[in-house]
Amino acid sequence: MSFDIIKGMATTLKNMGKKPTTFSFPEEEREQPPRFRGRHVLHRYDNGMERCVGCYLCAGACPADAIYIEAHENTEEQRVSPGERYAKVFDVNMLRCIFCGYCQAACPTGAITLEKEFKLSSFYAEDLVYHKEQLLEPEGQSTLGSSEVWADPAPHEAAQPVPQEAHVFDGSRASAAAVGLGNYPTERPVLLTDEEQDEDRRKLP
Spell out the domains of the chain, with CATH numbers in brackets. Answer: 35-147 (3.30.70.3270)
- Give 47's pLDDT tier (boundaries 50, 70, 90): confident
Alpha carbon separation from 20 to 11, 27, 30, 155 (Å, rounded): 15, 16, 13, 43
Q: Which of 15-19, 51-55, 80-84 is the least confident region? A: 15-19
- Rounded average pLDDT over 22-34: 85
Residue 25 pLDDT class (50, 70, 90 cuts): confident
Q: Is the pLDDT of residue 3 over 70?
A: yes
| Cβ-based burial of 101 (10 A; exposed 0-12, middle 13-18, buried ≥19) | middle
The arithmetic mean of pLDDT across residues 117-129, rounded, is 92
What is the average pLDDT across 145-159? 70
The mean pLDDT value for 133-154 works out to 84
d(CA 132, CA 88): 8
Q: Which pLDDT score is estimated for 191?
A: 61
> So what's the pLDDT on residue 174?
47
User: What is the reported pLDDT for 175?
Assistant: 47
Mean pLDDT of the chain: 80
181 vs 39, residue with greater confidence? 39
- Residue 187: its pLDDT value, please? 55
